[in-house]
Amino acid sequence: MLYLITGASGSGKSEYAEDVACYLARRDGMRYKLYVATMEAKSEEAQERIARHKRQRQGKGFVTVESLYGLAFSFPGEEKAPFRLPCLPQDCVILLECLSNLLANLMFSDKRSGGQATEAILSQVRQRQRLCRHLVIVTNEVFSDGMLYTGEVLEYVRALGTLNRLLAEEADGFLEVVYSVPLWLKGDRIWQF
Amino acid sequence: MELIIGGCFQGKLAYAKQRWKEAGTRVREEEILDGGSMVLCETAKWCGARSTEKDSFACVRILNQLHLLVRRFVETGKTQEIIPLMDQLLADWPDLLIVCDEVGLGLIPVEETERLYREAVGRTLCHLARQARQMVRITGGFPLVIRSADDAQLPS
């Protein structure tokens, strides 16, 4: 199943998404919770943010995979990808944190266009059955600041909006976390915690 | 306490006054605290005018523009004092209606203070939402209930 979780900055969406991943793993008796971290520790501020996220998920039993370009994993026996999953897909829930970083990495570090980056992410997500039983993706609401962006920033915002729409359409559950409270936009309220 | 959030100029304060009216109370202007201009004493603990003008300030019913209050703390490097202040306010006025602009729905700003401000508003709202009897988002004057007391989905 695919779950997409969005929200404003500081809305508590990351913490909520972690709880969702833990709930799914517990409910379905899955052994591995993979936390795919996409933030580059470029600045002191980024390092602090990463440290805060680490503290937040401490004790929740996640295996952290630092993967700036997303879900490029392989299974035992395959050597192509930098990270090999420790288990079979049915034993694994993956939390991707977060789509807005992943897109920025692909566009600004890996120098792909918005369209190419969108395609790359969609194709990764669409191969999820090969990787995991549940995929939880955290994304970002960056569309209401009233700013008129141009150039590559505009391209980025458009690409993230497109991704959110396409992934929400494919998702089994889509919700906005409004200051720690889930607002369901699609799917049944399957969990309660 | 109830939380009223949304974009700017959406009728959040009018909605707050309406809520009080439904409860049989007409809110007087002096019963509204404004986050941008309310008095803060040195220790950053709320003192308002309550201690000095007790009679005219006997009751606070609405805290308006919480985002501006958060901004004042962030700009003076006292971000960590916001939550204790809110707790103190709520201990004094448990029926407070808190009105706040949503400011975190955009790209991460280049300027550090702006980033910290948006983050702090979000964190403060998370803290308040957990204990709010109701949280609504106002759009064009209309409330969308995001959380209500009878909601089965109450977070812990």
Q: What is the pLDDT of residues A69-101, one digit of tens each?
A: 888 776 655 666 667 788 888 899 999 999 999
The pLDDT confidence band at residue B21, using thresholds 50, 70 and 90, is: very high
Crossing angle of the two packed helices B66-75 and B82-92, in degrees rounded to 10: 140
Instruction: In whole angstroms, give the CA distance from residue A175 to residue A168.
Output: 9
Question: Do the domain assignments include residue A191?
Answer: no
Torsion angle in degrees (nearest 10) through CA of B117, A153, A71, A92: 40
The CA distance from A24 to A190, in Å, is 10
Q: Which domain holds residue A51?
A: 2-184
* Higher per-residue confidence, B1 vs A193: B1
Q: What is the pLDDT of residue A130?
A: 84
Report the pLDDT averaged over residues B49-71: 74
Distances (CA, A) of B31 to A76, A189, B50, B88, B97: 66, 39, 11, 17, 11
Res. B54 pLDDT band, cuts 50 70 90: very low
Q: What is the pLDDT of residue A76?
A: 57
Average pLDDT, chain A: 91
**CB count in 10 Å sphere of residue B133:** 13
Specify if A193 maps to a domain: no
Give the domain CATH number at A176.
Answer: 3.40.50.300
Q: DSSP class of residue A18?
A: H
The complex's ipTM works out to 0.81
pLDDT digits (tens, 9 = 90+) for B77-131: 999 999 999 998 899 899 999 999 999 999 989 999 999 999 999 999 999 999 9
pLDDT tens digits, one per residue of A34-46:
999 999 888 888 8
Which among A45, A144, A192 is the nearest to B105, CB-wise? A144
Task: Find chain A residues with C-beta within 8 A of B152's C-beta.
Answer: 192
**Which residue among B104, B119, B146 places its CB closest to the CB of A181?**
B146
Among chain B residues, the shortest Cα distance to A154 is held by: B107
Where are chain B's structural domains?
Answer: 2-147
A8: contact with B, CB 8 A cutoff:
yes
Pairing of the two strands B62-64 and A62-66 = unpaired
B49 pLDDT more than 50: no
CATH fold of B2-147 reads Rossmann fold (3.40.50)
pLDDT in tens, A13-67: 999 999 999 999 999 999 999 999 999 888 888 899 899 899 999 999 999 998 8
pLDDT of residue B50: 47
Q: Is residue B154 predicted with pLDDT exceeding 60?
A: no
Chain A partners within 8 Å of B118 (Cβ):
8-10
Contacts of B122 in chain A (CB under 8 A): 8-12, 179
For every residue of chain B, which 3-state class applies, written as one string? CEEEEECCCCCHHHHHHHHHHHCCCCCCHHHEEECCCCCECCCCCECCCCCCCCCCCCCCCEEECHHHHHHHHHHCCCHHHHHHHHHHHHHHCCCCEEEEECCCCCCCCCCHHHHHHHHHHHHHHHHHHHHCCEEEEEECCEEEEEECCCCCCCCC
Mean per-residue pLDDT of chain B:
86
User: Coil, strand, or helix at residue A150?
Assistant: coil
Q: Tally the domains of chain A.
A: 1
